[in-house]
Amino acid sequence: MSDTSWLEDFLPLMRCPDTHQPLRRATAEECTKHGVKAALISEDGARVFVIDDGIPILLPTETT
């Protein structure tokens, strides 16, 4: 897993692309629950954004 320490500076500014809620780092338990190694999660815990190779993937949820 890549170094994500740079995220600490930007995390207060980051928002969920769907709900615009603040994001935080997912706990180890939340990552295990969602089957990921590292992630950001929305304030309400409803949306999880994987951190892939040190980069958070903040794509909005697709609706069909």
Structure pTM?
A: 0.85
What is the tens place of the pLDDT at every residue in 4-48? 888 999 999 999 999 999 999 999 999 999 999 999 999 999 999
How far is C-alpha 29 from the geometric centre of its chain's CA atoms? 14
* CA distances (Å), origin 42, targets 10, 17: 15, 10
Composition of the chain by helix, strand, coil, percent to 5: 20, 25, 55
> In the chain, what are the domain boundaries?
7-56
Q: Residue 55's beta-bridge partner residues? A: 52
